[in-house]
Amino acid sequence: MGMLSALYAGPNEVTVYDPAVFAAVDGPGNKCTKPSWYDMLQPTVALNTTRDRVEHDDRRKAWNRALNPEALRSYRSRIDRYTDLLDDYIASHVGEPISANDIFYWFTFDIMGDLAYGKSFGMLSEHKWHYAIAWMNEFMGLLGPISPVPWLARFLFHVPGVTPKWHRFMDWCQDRMKDRLTMEPNEPDVSTWLIDHVRSDGIVGKPQFDTLHGDAVTMTIAGSDTSAQTLLFIFYHLAKDSTRQNQLRQEIIHSNAQSSDASVLGDCPYLDGFINETLRVHPPVATGAIRQAGPGGIDVAGINIPEGTIIVAPRYCIARREDCFEKADQFIPERWTSAPHMAKRKEAFAPFALGRYSCVGKGLAFLQMRCLVTQLVTKYSVHFVDNTDPDACWRDLKDNFTGLPGKLDLIFKPIKV
């Protein structure tokens, strides 16, 4: 492969560690496609799993409208509602160990339940996992180990009795979307835009419903799992470094970031740097989002990768290259603010991908994280629980396409004013 940092992982697959790979496979003018791995949901097809560029671009228009800045402002009151519910839960358990593996997942899934189906999962109010999300967690644990062999995954998903929780979850998402079609929410949600996009003469036929079913699965998993993992690691690093925790707190207080005006949340560079550094060190999709070289192949760092080759670009590994980030293994949010020289090659940072296949929910994810962090950090100090192993959260993390962190318990203590 010349000077390209890469490793052949099979007869037709290459893992590329050069940071130029992200722009090569997803940047303007590229001819890469999504490989057969993305057929796992068939016959259901979601926005992020369709391999047809024309279909993808058409459906992306509806998603862009559902998640544009104006739409996000309209969702702010609902995000605040679940932020307050999580705050209430913490307030009732002040000074006690709280499972970060529970509360941050309850928070993001409840929000997406509301925005996808017009009704939350009720986990923050009932203080327990919803059965459908428990099913999802179980089959995601299977997805990780079998992802390198996508044909086996598709086979197992269709063998009766092998993946019952997967089928129950898919049926549950289908039923919830059917319910959503019969209701008109008091406030527009994400599904409002998706339904309007496929509705023809007031009717949603089976082909159109199949796309809504697929997008319901996407909203439930991709819209929640990734943000929850990032929140867990944000609070891990806050608890680990009280100096940075206080620095972040002071920035938020002085910027008035708790304002109900969503635009104010963008005026916190250290908060954004903290989130970015968390995404760099703990990318929610560590090794996934694979591509297939299109006609003529693609050039990465001056080396041609032949047409049809499967290309894996592991964000976790690329973000730890010392020639890309100084002290790459260390958590240093200042590299995104006051020490930009520590981010030598920013093209190595692509947690949301690029171009047409970039994460359409990036704005929503940042809004959720900013809202929750600003409220909790200004009310509580965050600490590890004595005689526990907080590093287990990253050491025991499982790559199930999205990450599943190990155990992390935290203690929240009210800040004395």
In the annotated binding site, the residues are 359
The single residue listed with the structure tokens 């959503």 is 180
The span from the CA of 284 to the CA of 294, in Å, is 26
Tell how far CA 75 is from the center of its chain.
18
Q: How many CA atoms lie within 13 A of 48 on its CB side?
A: 18
CB 134 within 8 A of CB 209: no
Instruction: Give the pairing of strands 409-414 and 380-384.
Output: antiparallel
The span from the CA of 364 to the CA of 44, in Å, is 24
Distance set, CA 360 to CA 233, 281, 366 (Å): 22, 21, 12
Distance set, CA 228 to CA 103, 109, 384, 388 (Å): 9, 8, 18, 21
Binding residues for heme: 359
The span from the CA of 44 to the CA of 135, in Å, is 18
The span from the CA of 283 to the CA of 278, in Å, is 7
DSSP secondary structure letter of residue 289: -
CB within 8 Å of 119: residues ≥ 6 apart:
113
Edge-to-edge order in the sheet of strand 13-16:
6-10, 13-16, 310-312, 291-292
CA angle 178, 184, 186 (to 5 degrees): 135
Q: Is 202 helix (H, G, I), strand (E, B) or coil?
A: coil
Instruction: Give the pairing of strands 13-16 and 310-312.
Output: parallel
CB 148 within 8 A of CB 36: no
CB atoms within 10 A of CB 150: 17
CB 153 within 8 A of CB 143: yes
CB atoms within 10 A of CB 289: 24
Sign for the CA dihedral angle at 205, 210, 212, 213 comes to: positive
